[in-house]
Amino acid sequence: MAASGNPVEDFCQEATCSICLDYFKDPVTIVECGHNYCRACLAQSWGPLEQEASCPQCRAKAQPQQLIPNWLLANFMKLTKKLSLHGKEGLCQKHKEPLKLFCKEDQSPICMVCNLAKEHKDHDVVPAEEAAQEFKMRTRTEREQMIAGFRELHQFLKEQEKRLLIQLQEVEKEIERERE
């Protein structure tokens, strides 16, 4: 596959079956040419006439009974899925486009194609970086308010402690007087 210049895109392309255009599921390798596909995609592409099977990419004759499970690619897919869940620059699951926008109504990142779809048509959408800055500012403000609230609470508790200690001293003095 051709390199796009974006490592995340290149990584995702390498993890994608050229038949279903989705991440590999149960990947297999065609022995004759070395190309990889999802087992189900390949079976569907060949149909019932497996004796005429060929690689969908290079058209090399293929022996369906000699497909090799690609465990290395299967493990790679597990890592890819983990990375896509934790990656900073994610891709839209639906369109495989970078999530560069943020829909304020749905409170979720979206791609440029999603932005044109009717489900987000009338929504307030901003660039993801702008939304991140807004979130940081809001978080900072909330943090400062929380700290101020804790300071007030701490001051209140100090005053209560002082008042209760004075009351306790007075009770102790009263007890001492009664004892005498």
CATH of the domain at 34: 3.30.40.10
Is residue 130 assigned to a domain? no
Is the pTM for the entire model greater than 0.85?
A: no
Is residue 127 assigned to a domain? no
Is residue 122 assigned to a domain? no
Parent domain of 75:
7-90
Is residue 63 assigned to a domain? yes
Output the DSSP codes for the chain: ----S-HHHHHHHHTB-TTT-SB-SSEEE-TTT--EEEHHHHHHHHTT-GGG-B-TTT--B--GGG-EE-HHHHHHHHHHHHHHHH-SS-B-TTT--B--EEETTTTEEE-HHHHHSGGGTTS-EEEHHHHHHHHHHHHHHHHHHHHHHHHHHHHHHHHHHHHHHHHHHHHHHHHHHHH-
Is residue 45 assigned to a domain? yes
- The total of structural domains in the chain comes to 1
Is residue 22 assigned to a domain? yes
Is residue 82 assigned to a domain? yes
| pLDDT tens for each residue of 17-56 | 889 888 889 999 988 888 999 999 988 888 876 667 889 9
| pLDDT tens for each residue of 72-128 | 888 877 776 665 554 445 788 888 888 889 999 888 889 999 988 888 888 999 998
